[in-house]
Amino acid sequence: MRLRLTTHVRDAIRNHGARGYPNEVCGALLGRDGAAEGNGAPREVTAVVPLENRREDSPRNRFSVTPEDVLRSERAAREQNLELVGWYHTHPDHPPRPSEFDREHAWPWYSYLILGVAASEPGEMKSWRLADDRSGYAAESIEVG
């Protein structure tokens, strides 16, 4: 499984993460699921939709997408003739691995890109997909360009 980001998308996520530090930020990934065409092509992300982190109880370490976020992101995708292929969020001062909370709130199929941000500097980016039976994640390689 491969995820390809344009440099613009990579920079937009890194800038969003740095701006939001020390809070988590999140957003939607829009693009095309190339692998669905059966040619082994990567899933491509060509645009993002930054979202509000509405978790007021714990904005530093809790990310969750609301039904309104999903509707809004799907609408933005349709308007740009793209698909909603995943979600991104940041882990301020934590490595970019899905937490137990993340797993409980994730859906299969989507790409979950996580960016580590340490002392407001964007760091490592990783992407994950939840197994269909929700038992765990598989890492997805990231390409930029």
**Contact footprint for Zn ion (CB under 5 A):** 99, 102
Residues 24, 37, 74, 100: which is the catalytic one?
24
Q: Which is nearer to Zn ion, 58 or 80 (CB)?
A: 58
Least CB distance from residue 115 to Zn ion, whole Å? 10
Question: Is 100 labeled as catalytic in the residue annotation?
Answer: no
Least CB distance from residue 41 to Zn ion, whole Å? 28
User: What would the 3-class secondary structure string for the chain be?
Assistant: CEEEECHHHHHHHHHHHHHHCCCCCEEEEEEEEHHHHCCCCCEEEEEEEEECCCCCCCCCCCCCCCHHHHHHHHHHHHHCCCEEEEEEEEEECCCCCCCHHHHHHCCCCCEEEEEEEECCEEEEEEEEEECCCCCCEEEEEEEEC
Q: Which is nearer to Zn ion, 30 or 137 (CB)?
A: 137
Least CB distance from residue 6 to Zn ion, whole Å? 23
Residue sitting closest to Zn ion (CB):
102
Active centre residues (catalytic): 24
